[in-house]
Amino acid sequence: MTVRLKTLAALVALAAGAPAFALDLLEAYRDALASDPQLASARSQLQAIRERVPQARAALLPQVSATAAVMRQDFDTNLAPARQFNSQSYGIQLSYPLLRKPYNEVLEQSKLQVTAGEAQLLQAEQDLILRVSQAYFDLLAAQDNLETIRAQKRAISEQLASAKRNFEVGTATITDQQEAQARFDLTSAQEIAAQNDLAVRRAALAQLIARPVGDVNELRPGVTLEGPQPAGESDWVQSARDNNLLVQQQRLAADVAQREIERRRAAYYPSIDLVGNVGHGRNSAFNLIGVRTDSAAIGVQLSVPLYTGGLIQASVREATALLDRSLSDLESSRRLAEQNARQAYLGLNSGLAQVGALEAAERSSRLALDSNVLGYQVGVRINIDVLNAQQQLFATQSQLARARYDALLSGLTLKSTTGILSETDLARINALLVPPRASTGDSGAGTTAQALPAPQGAPGATPPQGAAPGAAPASGAKANPPAPAPNMPRQRGGRVLKR
């Protein structure tokens, strides 16, 4: 028993220490593929539409029916006493349409409707790809934002502590302390909002995939994003005009409307049916023995509409107007597809350019922070300058990550406008993701940004250029250990920033 308990305890400890696998984009999509109610609704809709084909085909096939009857008859006359008789009959009827043009048009309409339903299902799948990708990257952006704010808060906290120490020994004014305190309080408020936003984004993704969401894979640092292929805007716009799934559905709807005109005009045509019946009856009403009858008939039945009071003409005019409406809807969908493709194309190229500009801005902000730190050390910059430079760098890093996510989403949207978006495109993006290096949770875990160096002349300040390392502080000042230079936080979806 003791050995079993020890073994069980070891297994539990091993399971507790085993690393949990983070959710990636492709896995999230496949989970949503199996549980999304909108996609399930589209599948059921397509299945229902497919049943219209056998229904329409059934009208062109032979129709066979059987009838049977049992009756009890009473006869009462003034010439004979009342009598009661029984009669039985049964028969089989056959009807086979030889010429029914409206039925043929209904069959062709049902086939077109199935094709339109398949395009509608494909559109639902592509919409799901976009919804999952949007929710996934929104979650990553929220994690980046919270991590950046927490790193900034830690840096400000250290700067606030340094300002308090410097004020206590008289090497800094109360203004430095108050400025750092104000910035710390503001960042605390931003952290609360970021925590709430992260929880909302996590819940949105969990709703899509129908299960809780823990850690998710992140965009690989330093990843290079590619532009659209082909590169020409006109190619994408023309492809969207021809192949957009909504355009395909509207084109098929116009074809169905054209078939509807033909179906209603077919009411002018004669109809020819092959008909036949077989029957048997027994009646004992006229004699005590009873009468038995057997019958069989087969023939061709012709029906020609001569006058319907203008019903057919009015019906054709109605169908023609509906066709005009379908053609107008088709042109509207084409223009919308062109606009969406152009917007996605410009958004993708603009996003890629913005990523490049923000990467340059990140490097510039880094240099600006280094310069302000150095200026603060030698006394030519004040505390608020360093805080502003910190905030600018953190904001740039957050914007850079968001720009990368938006560029990826624009690429998916562009393919969706042309009807070629598929799981393969999602797999390509998924290959750019890597397991998270650190979890962003409520505990505040993340990369620590250390305090900035104290200004020149303050306790713990770096000696001015030319001074001997370890030079004594000013008279009467209490020496503090040198404060380390700040370690900027890593940027998810960007480069690892280190000093």
pLDDT in tens, 84-141: 778 888 899 999 999 999 999 999 999 999 999 999 999 999 999 999 999 999 999 9
Q: What residue segments make up the domains of the chain, in order of their start?
A: 22-60+100-270+305-434
Q: Does pLDDT of 6 surpass 70?
A: no
Give yes or no for a contact between 280 and 87, defined as CB atoms under 8 angstroms apart.
no
CATH class of 22-60+100-270+305-434: mainly alpha
Q: Does pLDDT of 292 surpass 70?
A: yes
Q: Does pLDDT of 498 surpass 60?
A: no
Distance CA 110, CA 100 (A): 16
Residues 6+ apart with CB under 8 A from 230: 236
Q: Is 69 helix (H, G, I), strand (E, B) or coil?
A: strand
Contacts of 160-165 with C-beta under 8 Å, sequence gap 24+, read 160/184, 161/451, 162/451, 162/452, 162/454, 162/458, 162/460, 162/483, 163/383, 165/454, 165/459, 165/460, 165/480
The token pair that represents 333 in the structure block: 């969908």
pLDDT in tens, 214-247: 899 999 888 888 888 888 899 999 999 999 999 9
Reported pTM: 0.77
Distance CA 11, CA 6 (A): 9
Distance CA 101, CA 270 (A): 9
C-alpha distances in Å from residue 460, one per residue of 147, 148, 156, 367, 456: 29, 27, 18, 23, 9
In the numeric block, the tokens 């603009």 are attached to 350
Q: What sign for the dihedral angle of Cα 425, 35, 130, 47?
A: positive
Q: Does pLDDT of 14 surpass 70?
A: no
- The H or E element containing residue 70 is strand 63-75
Q: Find the Cα–Cα–Cα–Cα dihedral 114, 115, 121, 123, rounded to 10°.
A: -150
pLDDT in tens, 46-72: 999 999 999 999 999 999 999 998 888
Q: What is the mean pLDDT of residues 296-319?
A: 93
Cα 461 to chain centroid, rounded: 53
Give yes or no for a contact between 376 and 382, defined as CB atoms under 8 angstroms apart.
yes
Residues 6+ apart with CB under 8 A from 89: 67, 68, 69, 279, 280, 281, 282
Distance CA 365, CA 379 (A): 20
pLDDT in tens, 28-37: 999 999 999 9
Nearest-CA neighbor of 163 among 479, 384, 391?
Answer: 384
For residues 469-487, one letter each, b for 16 or more C-beta atoms within 10 angstroms of the residue's C-beta and e for the rest, the string is eeeebeeebeebeebeebb
